[in-house]
Amino acid sequence: MPALDGVRVLDFTQVIFGPAATQVLADHGAEVIKVERPGGGDLARAFGPWIQEQSLPFASLNRSKRSVVLDLKKPEGLDVIHRLLENTDVLAHNFRSGAVMEKLGLDYEALKERYPRLIYAVGTGYGSQGPYVERNKGGHESMAQALSGMADRFIGSDGTPQRLPYAVADFNGGMLLAQGILLALVARGRTGEGQYLETSLLDGMMSMQAWTTSKILNLGDDGEDDGSGGATHPRGNPLDGAVFETVDGFLMVTALFRPFDQLLRDLEAALGIEGLVGDPRFASLEDAKDHREDLRALLASVMSEKTSAEWIPLLEARDILVAPVRSTAEALEDPQLAINEMLVDVEHPQLGTMRHVGTPLRLEGTPPPAAAAAPLAGEHTEVVLRGAGYGAAEIIVLREQGVIH
């Protein structure tokens, strides 16, 4: 039996942040019912590329979920929500403002007495109160990277801060929101009571920098790298995550976890060179930081003489971490992903077999169920309503009234 079998989630989330959280729940057996708006549904459905009408970005984060399309501007639509809430464990949303749910009468304060076991999970850009909320500032991946200091640590070739090219804040926030939901479920198992919980993109990005923030908060910021920036930081360890071009590609090399003079001896042995040890420019790690370009140029000239496949065993023999720099497409071909069961096939009702990256969690005693395709907008409306006790005649009336689609 899956770990979350029997848990029902009413999912108002959209795009990446919220759906990443509820995807964790759906992957492990929760019944996740997406509540989507008429005329488009989840905003992510408008993002391509598409196969026919299926958005691939949407498909990646909505596996095994159900979709109902409801007009919540109509009282009958809200009646459906309340019927569903009678047997719902978790309500989740990531609207910019809580005012959206307040206007619908679906905010936590309005629901907590009527549904005392309900866990109400909210993902925001910055939190539920404060100056950003007061001026209705939109939350977004790029805003979280900029405000958190993350972008300032990644300097482009033109010397300006850069946004990381992946949705780091959204996915990290989603995992935190999922953790909060699971913690609340555990707590409810002891107390019988639901609760409100929230996290934000900004909070998540700050929590990711704990290795850095503790130093700054307690010792101040001296401009030195704390070990998290590595070779990309102007004062980082030049041997931590350094990228070198080989005959046929690029290798990332990390030489750490031993005295610096020993690292140099190991590099000399692996690369078949001499002269690193004893060079006053590299007498210590601090000296090497001051002469990082000299060290990188020396190593780069040697690394360019062999292929990546030739260098990897030589470096690994000295326990120097090394890996080829791959494209995402190349990474998907790694046989380790198949061993880890990370690639899943799902059967789509219109498109046949589709492939996705699946859950990274493997629970031996409560394995996840087989993944199902992301839903078409409103695909499960009638099924969900029947499960909530609506009869065929009632469903026909709701459809005629434009409440369901």
The catalytic residues are: 170
CA distance 227 to 241: 11
CA distance 204 to 174: 9
Q: Report residue 168: phi and psi, to 5°.
A: -65, -50
The secondary structure of 27-51 as a DSSP string is HTT-EEEEEE-TTT-SGGGGSS-EE
3-state secondary structure of 224: coil
For 52, other C-beta atoms within 10 Å of its C-beta total: 7
Contact assessment for residue 81 and residue 35, using Cβ atoms and an 8 Å cutoff = yes
Q: How many angstroms from the chain centroid is the CA of residue 360?
A: 11
CA distance 243 to 157: 15
Buried b (16+ CB within 10 A) or exposed e, 16-45: bbbbbbbbbbbbbbbbbbbbbbbeebbebb
* Cα distances (angstroms) measured from residue 266 to each of 192, 257, 269: 58, 12, 5
Beta-strand pair 119-124/90-93: parallel
**122: β partners:** 93, 198
Contact assessment for residue 266 and residue 257, using Cβ atoms and an 8 Å cutoff = no
Question: Nearest Cα to 71, choosing from 378, 375, 376?
Answer: 378
Contact assessment for residue 125 and residue 201, using Cβ atoms and an 8 Å cutoff = yes
